[in-house]
Structure 1
Amino acid sequence: MIMIFRGIKTLKTEWSVKMARLIEETDYFTLHFLSDGVYGAIAKHGQGAWSNAGIVDLGDECLVFDSFSTPSAGADLRRVAETITGKKVKYLINSHYHGDHVFGNQAFIDATIISTSMTKDLFKEKNKIGNLAKETKETKDYLNQLKIQMEKSQSEVVKASFVNQFNEMSKVLEDLPIMKLVFPTLLFEDKLVIEGSKRRIELYCFGGGHTPSDTFMYLPEEKIAFMGDLVTENLHLPIVNPLEFKSILDKVRLMDIGTFVPGHGIVGKVDLLESVYDYISYLMEKSNEALQSNQSLETFLSEFQTPEPYSKWRGMNGIKDNLSKVYKFLDR
């Protein structure tokens, strides 16, 4: 079955409104001017885009970063990219394998689709579309389960996360009959540079924290980074390796970046990165304390009280799911 996850909280700041200027709006996303020829496509809640994307005018051709969660949203992204730049999309970057970032790939089937080799392997292993009738039934069953959980939820924050999940998966269900999985065709490992006639972009993979392999895109002249889900806004994003996640962010800290485009949420400055870094540090600190005092995972989670501001962060599974993952990781 196709599975994606997320809950997003968007908080507007004076900086983001001023610097990431809204220039276009579609059914799926809002397009924001970041620099001459560089744009952030910020997903609208529950409309079938789900994650953020980027558009970069390289000079003679165009590049897109991530492709949204449905073929329909991906096609809209390509239309806007080629209209606003006047160039054909030559490259599509897949930051990681999660469906909300790659299920729009088929709209770019004639472009060069780039990822790490591990991301491609995970994409092929984890994202599979079987018999359409079976996929449709399973997705409808999942939506019914979400509806029950929405009704039972006592927390408005958690309920909002279930609502967003329900709406996004409903859009995936609508596109299932036309959905095809299109895999990356150009692979790299640690770094890849693309030199356009107008600007240079750099792709980096310092390892895996959110997934086993996470790529981000850096524009050195503009000091802009499209971070995928290495940076998100007020979201309990899934974590597979907290140590490597912190190590990745430590390396990003050393780079000259003024503008961060998160995988989910609005465009911001370095405080977006620091927020995620502090969150992972907090999870590790509390998990280590529990392990050092010989607390079982069950006792640790039952006694844990979510502090501010994390109680307001979105995500269906909340902070305790990540605490469980980090505890088990450190216990190994």
Structure 2
Amino acid sequence: MGETLLTTDYFTVKKMAEGVFAAIAIPGRGAWSNAGIVDLGTELLVFDSFNTPSAARELKKQAENLTGKKVKYLVNSHYHGDHVFGNQVFEEAVIISTALTQEWFRDKNVIRDIDTEMIETQQYINQLEFQIYNEKETVVKESLENQYMEMAKLHKELPSLEMVVPTVLFEKKLVISGAERSVELYCFGGAHSPSDAFLYAPMEKVAFMGDLVTENLHLPIFHPEEFLRILLEVKTMDIEQIMPGHGDVGTMKQVDRMIEYLAMLRKAVIDALSYSVSLDDFVSNFVIPDGFRNWKGTQGIKRNLESVYNFYSLKQKEF
């Protein structure tokens, strides 16, 4: 979906509606996640800033060339690096997030010693290379290869990377009004991260979902029950087009697919716990349903099986 307007070294820009554009990351080039652009009228808003300053600089350049406006606002959907490590390019803009995202950003995205950071990142890249060499499953191997390329791009830019933290905060809803259109920022809670915000353009019926919605990807789950609740709440909104955090522009069918995935995991875990199946036995004997077998992820579905199992196992012990 969406009319392709241009392709850069890092991303492809698609027009979703008048004044609303998606920057879809090209795998392995340094963007890693998707970003969004909204022409508010006299001002310009960008949603998420990619994984590297180089990709972010290209995003800012193309956004301003496309609209003839200067970027005034940058929204961070959550604190993960692939969505915020380009923030320094937008340092002069108003950078917006939830208060909880700001807190986690300050706590987790810290470079205390660049030499140590360079060494540790290179060690991780070496581990990925070893995993790629030994991995037998094609889908997991492809995911590891993409992770390797993205981390290599980040490693190259670490010496010049600066952590620029959001300063304008909101909790549940923030409306940003422009001369031509307005957008609404929402946070219904924490699902993929402790706090996941998304952007809704009501007139255009377009949403930039961050990592609340991804396409065919076993993205980590922070809170499975909240994840389901949040997506069901999103379903009540009048949305026709969606830009996921990873993947191509789509429709509400992407939300439906995520709901199916989460419901499948929840049922499988609750059934296993009802029969007192151990975590190891559950994970090793789990048969991935056909509809999710080709989903990507550096650990396949294993990480989410473990996290959902541990969540409901702990919850079971509370009663």
TM-score range, shorter chain: over 0.9
User: In the alignment, is residue 203 of structure 1 matched against residue 185 of structure 2?
Assistant: yes
Moved more, 65-74 or 129-138: 129-138
CA–CA distance in structure 1, aligned partners of residues 244 and 266 of structure 2: 22
CA–CA distance in structure 1, aligned partners of residues 305 and 13 of structure 2: 35
Hey, what does 2:165 align to over in structure 1?
A: 183
Local SS of the residue matching 2:260: helix
Does the 8 Å contact 2:209/2:243 carry over to 1?
A: yes
Q: Sequence identity of aligned pairs in percent?
A: 53
Does the 8 Å contact 2:18/2:204 carry over to 1?
A: no
For structure 1, which runs of at least 5 residues remain unmatched after alignment?
A: 1-15
- What is the RMSD of the two structures over their aligned residues, measured on CA atoms? 0.7
Query: 1:43-192, aligned counterparts within 5 Å?
Result: 43-192=25-174
Task: Give deviations 1:251-302, integer Å, cap 9, x for gaps.
Answer: 1000000001000000001111111110000000000000111111111112
Moved more, 138-147 or 127-136: 127-136
Hey, what does 2:255 align to over in structure 1?
A: 273
Local SS of the residue matching 2:105: helix
Q: Report how many residues are paired.
A: 314
Local SS of the residue matching 1:77: helix
Query: How far has the Cα of 1:311 moved from its partner?
Result: 1.6
Letter in 2 for 1:74: A
Query: How far has the Cα of 1:66 moved from its partner?
Result: 0.2
CA–CA distance in structure 2, aligned partners of residues 78 and 169 of structure 1: 22
What TM-score results when the alignment is normalised by the length of structure 1?
Answer: 0.94
Hey, what does 2:317 align to over in structure 1?
A: none
Local SS of the residue matching 1:331: helix
User: In the alignment, is residue 262 of structure 1 matched against residue 273 of structure 2?
Assistant: no
Moved more, 123-132 or 284-293: 123-132
CA–CA distance in structure 2, aligned partners of residues 320 and 293 of structure 1: 20
Query: How far has the Cα of 1:309 moved from its partner?
Result: 2.1
CA–CA distance in structure 2, aligned partners of residues 269 and 314 of structure 1: 20
Query: How far has the Cα of 1:94 moved from its partner?
Result: 0.1
Query: How far has the Cα of 1:107 moved from its partner?
Result: 0.4
CA–CA distance in structure 2, aligned partners of residues 247 and 228 of structure 1: 16
CA–CA distance in structure 2, aligned partners of residues 99 and 75 of structure 1: 16
Asked which structure has the greater RCO (Cα within 8 Å, sep 6+), the reply is 1
What TM-score results when the alignment is normalised by the length of structure 2?
Answer: 0.97
Task: Give deviations 1:61-116, integer Å, cap 9, x for gaps.
Answer: 10000000001111110011111111110000000000000000000000000000
Hey, what does 1:28 align to over in structure 2?
A: 10
Letter in 2 for 1:71: P
Local SS of the residue matching 1:81: helix
CA–CA distance in structure 2, aligned partners of residues 229 and 116 of structure 1: 15
Hey, what does 1:324 align to over in structure 2?
A: 306
Task: Give deviations 1:178-218, integer Å, cap 9, x for gaps.
Answer: 10000001000000000101101000000011001000000
User: In the alignment, is residue 246 of structure 1 matched against residue 228 of structure 2?
Assistant: yes
